[in-house]
């Protein structure tokens, strides 16, 4: 994954059955801003995609309005996409536009597959914990079903990308994420941090079993050294040496859910890159994955990467 050359940008242009306004809402504005920055750096093609998830009644009224007597939400959305496309084209960017009906997560995934996009960028709103758990969001569903990398941009965290973080659990998915992180850091001229969150699962047991503090400390040191070696071996499989501002490899202690957000705050990370297994259905609802769990808690944007052999449940 050397470059992101064919970027799909998901935009929300309506609320219920009504068009939002001439101005994009903050989440979509943030996604578009990040996409434009990346496109300007890499000369990427942008596809602006709006998905109208409106009621069956509203959709029926649009279909029967054959003479276009009423200006529908579809017409307004098409006009807004055209306005945005022309504005970006005037800046010298290569821009296309797509308008679909249906759930945004499914339509964006289909377009990502159909259009052979190598990155999807979307914005996310703040949601309550209960709302996320019960209903999810477009971003969370994309993390599970979209086969290409998904860049989730938070409006309150949009800033120049100077620090990129990739978290690894040494899996194949983590290696793919590391390769993507190297590409992002290189493209945006940012520094790259590579970390592993190390848990001492048996430390309490060892202490209660009468193992000496010296032996426990030796055990901890051994695990640290092994983790650091594994990180360096994964990093060696990338072209990290091409990153202008360098790479720092660290092993941090704690669960990934706690250690990653803390590291993001401590180092003022701008973008977190993380692998995701993409569980769907009831299993995904119950178990989730680290990318989904940390997304609401990190003060930065997140790029979620699927394993190379991942197959989306969404069909064309």
Q: 223: domain CATH number?
A: 3.40.50.620
Question: Is 165 in the same domain as 138?
Answer: no
Q: pTM for the full model?
A: 0.84
| Ordered DSSP codes for 253-314 | ES-HHHHHHHHHHHHT-SEEEEE-----HHHHHHH--HHHHHTTT-SSEEEEE--TT---S-
Question: Is 233 in the same domain as 124?
Answer: no
Question: Is 165 in the same domain as 145?
Answer: no
With a CB cutoff of 8 Å and minimum separation 6, the contacts of 122 are 9, 10, 27, 31, 108, 138, 139, 142, 150, 151, 152, 153
pLDDT tens, the chain, 316 aa long: 457 899 999 998 865 445 555 678 888 999 999 999 999 988 999 999 998 876 555 555 555 555 554 457 778 888 899 999 999 999 999 999 999 988 899 999 999 999 999 999 999 876 555 444 333 478 888 988 999 999 999 888 777 889 999 999 998 889 999 999 999 999 889 999 999 999 876 666 666 666 677 877 788 899 999 999 999 999 999 999 999 999 999 999 998 999 999 999 999 999 999 988 655 443 333 334 788 888 888 999 999 998 888 889 888 7
Question: Is 198 in the same domain as 294?
Answer: yes
pLDDT at residue number 282: 38
Question: Is 142 in the same domain as 262?
Answer: no
Question: Is 100 in the same domain as 246?
Answer: no
Contact 155, 26 (CB under 8 A): yes
Count of alpha carbons within 13 angstroms of residue 265, beta-carbon side: 8
Question: Is 27 in the same domain as 128?
Answer: yes
| Ordered DSSP codes for 73-109 | HHHHHHHHHHHHHHHHHHTT-EEEEEEEES-HHHHHH
Question: Is 184 in the same domain as 216?
Answer: yes
Question: Is 186 in the same domain as 97?
Answer: no
| Residue range of the domain that includes 299 | 160-316
Radius of gyration for the chain, computed over Cα atoms and rounded to the nearest angstrom: 22
Question: Is 134 in the same domain as 164?
Answer: no
pLDDT at residue number 214: 80
Question: Is 128 in the same domain as 82?
Answer: yes
Point out the domain boundary residue: 116, 134, 158.
158
């Amino acid at each position: 994954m050397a470059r992101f050359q064919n970027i799909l940008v998901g935009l929300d242009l309506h609320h219920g059955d009504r068009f939002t306004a001439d101005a994009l809402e903050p989440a979509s504005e943030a996604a578009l801003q990040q996409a434009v920055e990346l496109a300007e750096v890499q000369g990427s093609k942008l596809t602006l995609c709006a998905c109208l998830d409106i009621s069956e009644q509203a959709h029926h009224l649009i279909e029967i309005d054959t003479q276009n007597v009423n200006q529908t939400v579809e017409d307004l959305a098409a006009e807004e996409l055209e306005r945005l496309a022309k504005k970006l084209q005037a800046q010298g960017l290569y821009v296309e536009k797509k308008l679909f009906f249906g759930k945004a997560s499914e339509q964006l995934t289909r377009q990502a597959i159909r259009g052979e996009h190598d990155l999807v960028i979307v914005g996310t709103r703040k949601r309550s914990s209960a709302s996320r758990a019960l209903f999810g969001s477009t971003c969370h569903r994309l993390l599970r079903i979209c086969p290409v990398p998904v860049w989730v941009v938070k409006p309150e965290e949009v800033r120049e990308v100077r620090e990129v973080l990739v978290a690894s659990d040494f899996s194949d998915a983590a290696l793919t994420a590391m390769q993507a992180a190297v590409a992002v850091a290189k493209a945006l001229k940012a520094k790259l941090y590579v970390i592993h969150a190390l848990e001492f699962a048996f430390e309490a047991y060892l202490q209660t079993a009468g193992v000496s503090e010296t032996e426990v400390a030796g055990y901890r040191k051994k695990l640290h050294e092994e983790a650091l070696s594994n990180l360096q071996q994964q990093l060696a499989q990338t072209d990290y040496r091409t990153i202008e501002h360098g790479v720092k490899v660290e092993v941090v202690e704690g669960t990934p859910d706690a250690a990653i957000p803390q590291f993001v705050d401590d180092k003022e990370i701008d973008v977190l890159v993380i692998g995701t297994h993409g569980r769907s259905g009831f299993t995904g609802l119950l178990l989730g994955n680290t990318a989904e769990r940390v997304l609401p808690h990190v003060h930065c944007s997140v790029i979620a990467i699927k394993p190379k052999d991942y197959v989306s449940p969404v069909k064309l």
